Amino acid sequence: MTALTLAFAYLKRRWGQALLSILVGALGVAAVVIAFTAFDALPDAAERSWGGVDLVVGPKGSPLDLVLCCALHVSDPQGLVSEKTAMAAAHHPLVRLAAPIALGDNVDGWRIVGTTPAIFAIYHADFAQGDAWTKPLQAVLGAGVARALHLKMGDRFVGAHGLAMGGELHSQFPYTVTGILKPTGTVLDRLALCDIETVRYIHRKHAEDEAAETGVAETYVNLPDAATAIVASYRTPVAALLVPRLINANPTLTAASPSFEIARLMGYMRPLSYAATALGLLLVIIAGAGAAAALMATMNARTRDLALLRAMGAGPGTIASVAFCEAGIMAVIALILGGVLSWIALVVTSQILLDRTGLSIDPQLDSDTLLYLVAGAFAVAIIAALVPAIRAARTPIEELLQS
Amino acid sequence: MLATDDGIKLSLEDLILSRSGRDFARVPNVRLGSGQSIALVGASGSGKSTALMAIAGIRPPKSGKVTIDGTDPWRLGRSARDRFRGRRIGLVFQSFHLVDALSTQANVWLAAQCAGYPVHDPSRLTKLLDRLGLSAIRHRRADHVSHGQAQRIAVARALINNPAVILADEPTSALDDHNTETLLKLLTESAVAERAALLIATHDRRVLSAVDSVVEMDVLP
């Protein structure tokens, strides 16, 4: 009680100095929390986003690019494949469903994806209103797109060329909304879906117009069944061992597994996570060293006070505990502040990530990590207070009567 | 200086003090009862502060016996002696030594906490602050009180645990006549009110008329 009262009073007295140590410590705690939670939350967010897609088949190239473009819809396509060739390659008894996708247009930055109704089953999507398209230039909207663009059943919208906002409008080809999906928590929420032939027709017309102007024919003109990729779901996880290998034997196709590619990507990012954790730990240690130096200086300045406590009957343990209490209070405040800072950072980051990529992260700090963090912070506090505490406990009372 | 054995609060017998292994001073024998006061006088360096340390159980005497309310502190173990000092001896220092970071009442109550009285007794604290005229500044931090108020806080702190003995070390050396008179009155009246013995180590001659008796340090050749 004595030690805690004094520790609070002393901290209040030198709040500026204490605040600095607390801030550095809190930043360290926040860095460690963010590194741990973000690293675990990102793969989970990606997995939620690709939903029931087990396999992506696209043109020969990087499987990671294929997953980022056609499963997570965060990057641009690397080329086109023949739907017939890709569907034939994906036709296997272990493959439950497959659907082609054709990218190339957007509505206010939301991707328009030409596909077949099989895609609804792959993503386990249900209709909130309406139904799938039955004619060209009819569209089904993901829940997020409908909400963001305030589009209702029967509304019309015009797509723009390219995957980013600002492309040339295909004004002569307006879409009509025939269905709106229930939220799925997957990337489908952020897509506007239509018949693949519609996308092909619009792009064929666009390519013909371009060719007439430049004399160069685009792929859509030369490849009538062009698709960006095929997305498929397996009947059984065993398919992951067999099907991609068979498809990759085709010299024009690449088969990519989203879970494998994202695990590989996170493997590349692991050093970054280690670096962030190390930086956080370094900040915690710097805070501890700062607190130790400050405590040492203040203990020296408080020799008279500490001798007074001894003279009034306080044992060396009580005197030492003043230093431990001060360091402990700073550790508790740094932990709380670090927790708040990391929470704010994660909320802001997850919103930015959601806006830019559609990945919805749900950061959770597991109890083991939390325990290590609290234990670590208190260990640093105890080490920081150790030398000042020993010095304080050895304060001679004689000084008081001789001063 | 003499009191009946029943009421003896402080007894010093044949106390010899040493410094660097050499005997350098002898403290006259003293027997003080409740409410009695004595001045221990001597020139600077005569061993007055060392004598207080021996009486308070801080630095052992070379020989002799200290008895406070029937207990010899030097027969107790270290932590028991610390606890005994906190509970049975009230200390008043030359420059009062208040803890600046704490309020008036926290400074006073600190003595109780250091002595291991875990239960807060607000009535005792309130009565003491009232009696010493400190109620109005009980929440004021110690570095914001006047010199006279600091004196009274130091006395209140020495009295809070209802001590058997109050030891004051040169309490008037930096004070003018008016403040000296005020402080001595406060100390002697408090000793009577709290039924404690009061020993003032001083070289200040103004103290002599305020106490019941005077003894002088005997510096050994």
Q: Are residues A172 and A116 in the same domain?
A: yes
Please indicate, yes or no, whether residues A237 and A353 belong to a single structural domain of this protein: no
Closest Cα in chain A to B78? A315
Question: ipTM of this predicted complex?
Answer: 0.85
User: Cβ contact (<8 Å) for B97 and A308?
Assistant: yes
Check whether domain B5-219 has CATH 3.40.50.300, yes or no = yes
Residues A228 and A316 in one domain: no
Where chain A has pLDDT below 50, the residues are none
The verdict on a CB contact (< 8 Å) between B102 and A9 is yes
pLDDT score of B15:
93
Nearest residue to B196 via CA among B38, B14, B15 = B38
Taking contacts as CB-CB distances below 8 angstroms, the residues of chain A near B79 are 315
Find the CB nearest A400 among B83, B85, B97. Answer: B97
Q: Which of B91, B99, B102 sits opposite A311 (nearest CB)?
A: B91
Interface-testing mutation among A299, A304, A308, with chain B (most B C-beta atoms within 10 A): A308
Kindly state whether residues A96 and A215 are assigned to the same domain: yes
- Smallest CA–CA separation between B188 and chain A, in Å? 21
Do A213 and A190 reside in the same domain of the chain?
A: yes
- Exposed/middle/buried for residue B77 (C-beta within 10 Å: 0-12, 13-18, 19+): exposed
- The model's pLDDT over B37-76, given as tens digits with 9 standing for 90+, comes to 999 999 888 889 899 999 999 899 999 999 999 999 999 9
| Residue that terminates a domain, selected from A191, A225, A256 | A256
Structure tokens at B141: 């931090």
pLDDT, residue A140, reads 97
| Interface probe, candidates B55, B88, B114, chain A, greatest A C-beta count within 10 A | B114
Query: Given this model, what pLDDT does residue B119 score?
Result: 62
Q: Are A164 and A220 in contact (CB under 8 A)?
A: no
Contact residues, chain A, for B118 at CB < 8 Å: 1
Residues A191 and A165 both lie in one domain: yes
Question: Are A225 and A241 contained in the same domain?
Answer: yes
CB A389 within 8 A of CB A321: yes
Give the relative orientation of helices A367-393 and A15-50 as an angle to the nearest 10 degrees: 170
Contact B87 A304 (CB under 8 A): no
Residue A313 has its nearest CB partner, among B49, B116, B169, at B116
* Position B117, amino acid: Y
Report d(CA A58, CA A231) in Å as an integer. 9
CA terminus-to-terminus distance, chain B: 26
In a domain? residue A59 = yes
Chain A and chain B share a number of CB contacts under 8 A equal to 76
Residue A390 lies in a domain: yes
Test B58 with A311 for CB contact under 8 angstroms. yes
Q: Are residues A32 and A144 in the same domain?
A: no
CA nearest B107 in A: which residue?
A: A6
Using a CB-CB cut-off of 8 Å, the residues of chain B touching A17 are none
What is the per-residue pLDDT for A126? 94
8 A C-beta contact, residue A57 and residue A247: yes
Sheet holding B213-216, edge to edge: B89-92, B165-169, B197-202, B37-41, B213-216
Q: What is the pLDDT of residue A246?
A: 92
**pTM score, two decimals?**
0.68
Residues in chain A closer than 8 A to B169 (CB atoms): 401
pLDDT of residue B3: 44
Is the Cβ of B207 closer than 8 Å to some Cβ of chain A? Answer: no
A182, A102: one domain? yes
Q: Do A403 and B56 touch (CB under 8 A)?
A: no
In order of A53, A126, A252, the CA distances from A95 in angstroms are 11, 21, 20
In a domain, A334, yes or no: yes
Please tell me whether residues A78 and A205 are part of one structural domain.
yes
Residue A281 sits in the same domain as residue A370: yes
CB–CB contact B99 A6 (8 Å): yes
Position B141, amino acid: R
Nearest to A313 among B53, B114, B169 (CB): B114
Instruction: Tally the domains of chain A.
Output: 2
Interface contact A1-B99, CB threshold 8 A: no
What DSSP assignment string belongs to A294-351? HHHHHHHHTHHHHHHHHHTT--HHHHHHHHHHHHHHHHHHHHHHHHHHHHHHHHHHHH
pLDDT in tens, chain B (221 residues): 444 455 799 999 999 999 888 999 999 999 999 999 999 999 888 889 899 999 999 899 999 999 999 999 999 998 899 999 999 999 998 878 898 889 999 999 989 988 888 666 788 889 889 888 899 999 999 999 998 889 889 989 999 998 999 999 988 877 788 888 888 998 999 899 889 999 999 988 999 999 999 999 998 88
All structural domains of chain B with their residue ranges? 5-219
- A373 plus A316 within the same structural domain: yes
Can you give the residue range of the structural domain that contains A147? 55-256
> In A, what residues contact B, Cβ < 8 A?
1-2, 5-6, 9-10, 12-13, 304-305, 308-315, 318, 397-398, 400-403
Residue at A265 is within a domain? no
- Window 159-178 of B: residues touching A by CB (8 A cutoff) are 169
CB contact under 8 A, A312 and B99: no
Contact A77, A131 (CB under 8 A): no
DSSP H or E segment with residue A175: strand A169-181
Residue in B closest to A15 by C-alpha? B101
